[in-house]
């Protein structure tokens, strides 16, 4: 027959075994929860980033498109470098002709004594 000491030893062994089993189960549950939480957080982060990208696109795209349209209008209104160089060359020629004509007019005035 079992005496009280034997029952206490058996009780302690059972408590230790139960404690170890509970500790192992707790560890397994915590690891499972950690993995599940990591998965959920990763998905949530992915969802949030997708939403942020959509918001940024809806906010910035119209502004960039308007800016591009404005730049295109400015580009259309601007004189090309080639046209500007051609115009500058023509102005240089016209200025030279005006100087020549001004001198000739002065010579004619002097020769006709018109002052």
What does 86-98 look like in DSSP terms, one character per residue? Answer: HHHHHHHHHHHHH
The pLDDT mean for the chain works out to 91
The pLDDT tens digits for 92-103 are 999 999 999 999
- Which one is predicted more confidently, 112 or 90? 90
Q: How many domains does the chain have?
A: 1
In this structure, is residue 14 part of a structural domain?
no
Residue 78 main-chain phi, psi, to 5 deg: -75, 150
Alpha-carbon span 80 to 86, nearest angstrom: 10
In this structure, is residue 1 part of a structural domain?
no
**Residue 114 is part of which domain span?**
79-115
In this structure, is residue 67 part of a structural domain?
no
Give the pLDDT confidence score for residue 2 in this predicted structure: 76
Cβ neighbourhood burial of 104 (10 Å; 0-12, 13-18, 19+): exposed
In this structure, is residue 63 part of a structural domain?
no
Give the pLDDT confidence score for residue 115 in this predicted structure: 52
Alpha-carbon span 9 to 16, nearest angstrom: 10
Give the pLDDT confidence score for residue 5 in this predicted structure: 87
In this structure, is residue 70 part of a structural domain?
no
What's the pLDDT band for 47 if we cut at 50, 70, 90? very high
Its pTM stands at: 0.48
In this structure, is residue 105 part of a structural domain?
yes
In this structure, is residue 54 part of a structural domain?
no
Give the pLDDT confidence score for residue 6 in this predicted structure: 78
In this structure, is residue 31 part of a structural domain?
no
Whether residue 109 contacts residue 115, with contact meaning beta carbons closer than 8 Å, is answered with: yes
């Amino acid at each position: 027959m079992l005496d009280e000491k034997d029952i206490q030893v058996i009780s302690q062994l059972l408590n230790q075994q139960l404690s170890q089993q509970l500790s192992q189960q707790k560890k397994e549950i915590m690891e499972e929860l950690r993995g599940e939480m990591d998965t959920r957080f990763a998905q949530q982060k992915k969802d949030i980033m997708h939403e942020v990208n959509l918001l940024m696109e809806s906010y910035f795209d119209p502004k960039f498109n308007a800016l591009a349209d404005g730049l295109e209008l400015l580009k259309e209104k601007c004189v090309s470098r080639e046209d500007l160089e051609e115009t500058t060359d023509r102005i240089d020629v016209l200025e030279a002709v005006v100087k020549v004509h001004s001198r000739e007019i002065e010579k004619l005035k002097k020769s006709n004594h018109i002052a």
